[in-house]
Amino acid sequence: MNPLAAILLRDMRLAVRVGGGAFMGALFFLIVITMTPFAVGPDLALLARIGPAILWIGALLASLLALDRLFATDHDDGSLDLLMMGEVPLELTVAAKALAHWLTTGLPLVVVAPLLGLMLNVDMHALGWLTLTLAAGTPALTFIGLIGAALSVALRRGGLLLAVLVLPLTVPVLIFGVAAANAAIAGPTPFGPAFTILCALSLASLVLGPIAATAALRHGLE
Amino acid sequence: MAVIDLANPTRFLRIVDRVLPWLIAVTAILFAVGLYRALNAPDDYQQGATVKIMFLHVPAAWLGMFGWALMSVAALGTLVWRHPLADVAGKAAAPIGAAFTFICLVTGSLWGRPTWGTYWVWDARLTSMLVLLLLYLGVLALYWTAEEPGRGARAAAILSLVGAVNLPIIKFSVDWWNTLHQPASVFRLRGSTIDPSLLTPLLIMALAFTLLFVTLHLAIMRNEILRRRVRSMRLMQAQEVHA
């Protein structure tokens, strides 16, 4: 089998089988969305207005949640050393791992987003567009988070450090994700520009994330 | 090559010891002149005496951004050329840059109270400076958590470069976000250009701030080199005790 496909399948199997990984993120997302009305009140008009923002914040936090496991478990059992010594360029290996991570943690968030949007009274016709922004934006969150995951495993620290490093870098993704979602729901600005920039951010992080993460791993674990 | 010569920490320390007293003296003189000129500068016809905050605020903002640029160059030095002093330079620049960014935010907020009527607005520039401060704090957190100086320095270097790529994007998106939410013209109280009577003191203050940055940077670099020496001497001593 193609080594990259093998890594992708292995990581996805691990994520699904160990500790309910894929399910946890979506569950956390659901809980964050459930807590919001308790904080801001059950006013449906208000919830509809801030719904896209809440969904994006929830997705951002949920995608951070599992990031520290991205390299930490492989580092602990030594398989990361094997991956680093392999013939496949480490950048591609890291990208395959990140893709597997997105498929098991990011994609479930996108799948449950329409349901959670309904709970927040987001306009039914806009739910599809809102989900589309999450589908386009969550890869950027994962691939930016990849850098933080590599840095924190290189320093053998996880948890809060990762969030502190990663969250400020995701400001543009959040801005354009929420802007595109709001444009689809209420206007008056068109959906296109914000959404295209969101896609551009995702594509750029798809390239830069693995390169920076690989540099962090090489320099940190040598 | 001057940069290569500086690679020897002992030689670097000797140069710093010779240069630092002069730098301190020139910085103090420039601050005295700049502050005197700033205090005697005419009040703004709209903002009154509060415009004097500008003489601290604007140079602090410039140097807050300069700090990250310096860290990025030092990061290249660490990762590409493996210059032995580059990681010391990067580490020394982080707290100063964070401090200047913080000063910029605090003075900006104090300036905002009388002019905008509130301590904090989600103005595009304020917000991007706040994100810059958060990025600085991230780098500092990285240094705090690193057990071994070299490892922490390389991690921070990578983060500096990632930040350098990201900062223009963040700046652009915050500007875009701000104009989408609220008209920027509200906050453009001052008209077109600054009057020379205000500009000259501002430039003197900017120069004074820059020299303060350089002075602090060299002093912190010196301290860091000495701290690392103390660390390795302690390690050697511990080995001798065991042997």
CA distance B223 to chain A (A): 24
**Residue A99: exposed, middle, or buried by beta-carbon count in 10 A (0-12, 13-18, 19+)?**
buried
- pLDDT value of residue B204: 87
Nearest to A219 among B138, B154, B180 (CB): B154
Contact A161 B141 (CB under 8 A): yes
Cα distance between residue B180 and residue A178, in whole Å: 12
pLDDT 10s digits, B150-197: 778 888 888 898 888 888 888 788 777 776 655 444 444 454 456 677
Contact B155 A155 (CB under 8 A): yes
Cα distance between residue A93 and residue A90, in whole Å: 5
Q: Is B180 on the interface with A (CB under 8 A)?
A: yes
Q: What is the CB-side half-sphere exposure of residue B158 using CA atoms within 13 A?
A: 31
**Residue A156: exposed, middle, or buried by beta-carbon count in 10 A (0-12, 13-18, 19+)?**
middle
Confidence of residue B215 (pLDDT cuts 50, 70, 90): very high
Enumerate the residues of chain B whose CB falls inside 8 A of the CB of residue A167. Answer: 134
**Residue B187: exposed, middle, or buried by beta-carbon count in 10 A (0-12, 13-18, 19+)?**
middle
pLDDT 10s digits, A47-63: 888 888 888 999 898 88
**According to DSSP H, which parts of chain B are helical?**
2-5, 9-39, 54-76, 86-116, 124-145, 149-181, 196-242
Residue B227 token pair: 């701290």
Q: Among B99-103, B184-188, B198-202, which stretch is predicted with the lowest mean pLDDT? A: B184-188
Contact A212 B170 (CB under 8 A): no
- pLDDT value of residue B117: 77
Q: Cα A55 to chain center, whole Å?
A: 13
CA distance A13 to chain B (A): 30
- CB–CB of A110/A131 below 8 Å? yes
Q: Is B26 on the interface with A (CB under 8 A)?
A: no
Cα distance between residue B69 and residue B103, in whole Å: 18
Contact B163 A169 (CB under 8 A): yes
For B64-87, what is the mean pLDDT? Answer: 87
- CB–CB of B209/B4 below 8 Å? no
Which residue type occupies B58? V
3-state SS class at A159? coil
Confidence of residue A222 (pLDDT cuts 50, 70, 90): low
- pLDDT value of residue B72: 92
Nearest to B177 among A147, A179, A220 (CB): A179
DSSP code at position B44 = B
Enumerate the residues of chain A whose CB falls inside 8 A of the CB of residue B135. Answer: 168-169
Nearest to A175 among B145, B162, B173 (CB): B173
pTM of the model: 0.85
Can you name the residues that pair with B48 across neighbouring β-strands? B44
Q: Is A218 on the interface with B (CB under 8 A)?
A: no
- CB–CB of A213/A150 below 8 Å? yes
Residue A202 token pair: 């995702």
Query: Domain boundaries in chain B?
Result: 2-181+195-242
CA distance A1 to chain B (A): 33
CA distance B80 to chain A (A): 11
- pLDDT value of residue B98: 94
Enumerate the residues of chain A whose CB falls inside 8 A of the CB of residue B134. Answer: 164, 167-168
Enumerate the residues of chain A whose CB falls inside 8 A of the CB of residue B151. Answer: 154-155, 219-220
Q: Cα A113 to chain center, whole Å?
A: 13
Contact B161 A220 (CB under 8 A): no
- pLDDT value of residue B121: 77
Q: Is A179 on the interface with B (CB under 8 A)?
A: yes
**Residue B140: exposed, middle, or buried by beta-carbon count in 10 A (0-12, 13-18, 19+)?**
middle
For B31-48, what is the mean pLDDT? Answer: 76
Enumerate the residues of chain A whose CB falls inside 8 A of the CB of residue B159. Answer: 147, 151, 165
Cα distance between residue A83 and residue A98, in whole Å: 14
Average pLDDT, chain B: 82
Three-state secondary structure string covering A10-53? HHHHHHHHCCCHHHHHHHHHHHHHHHHHHHHCCCHHHHHHHHHH
- pLDDT value of residue B134: 92
CA dihedral sign of residues A101, A103, A107, A108: negative
Q: Is B155 on the interface with A (CB under 8 A)?
A: yes
Residues contacting residue B121 through CB under 8 Å, at least 6 positions apart: B112, B187
- CB–CB of A67/A151 below 8 Å? no
Nearest to A154 among B79, B135, B155 (CB): B155
**Best mutation site among B122, B173, B178, B180 for testing chain A: the one with the most A CBs within 10 Å?**
B173
pLDDT at B49 over 50: yes
Query: Domain boundaries in chain A?
Result: 3-221
Q: How many CB atoms lie within 10 A of CB A118?
A: 12
Q: Is B145 on the interface with A (CB under 8 A)?
A: yes
Size of interface A-B (CB pairs under 8 A): 80
Cα distance between residue B154 and residue B150, in whole Å: 6
Cα distance between residue A212 and residue A192, in whole Å: 30
Cα distance between residue B220 and residue B143, in whole Å: 15
Contact A155 B163 (CB under 8 A): no
- pLDDT value of residue B2: 56
Q: Which residue of A has its CA nearest to B78?
A: A219
Give B213 or B117, the one with higher predicted confidence.
Answer: B213
For A78-92, what is the mean pLDDT? Answer: 82
The angle formed by the CA atoms of residues A114, A119 and A122, to the nearest 5 degrees, is 65
pLDDT at B99 over 90: yes
- CB–CB of A84/A97 below 8 Å? no
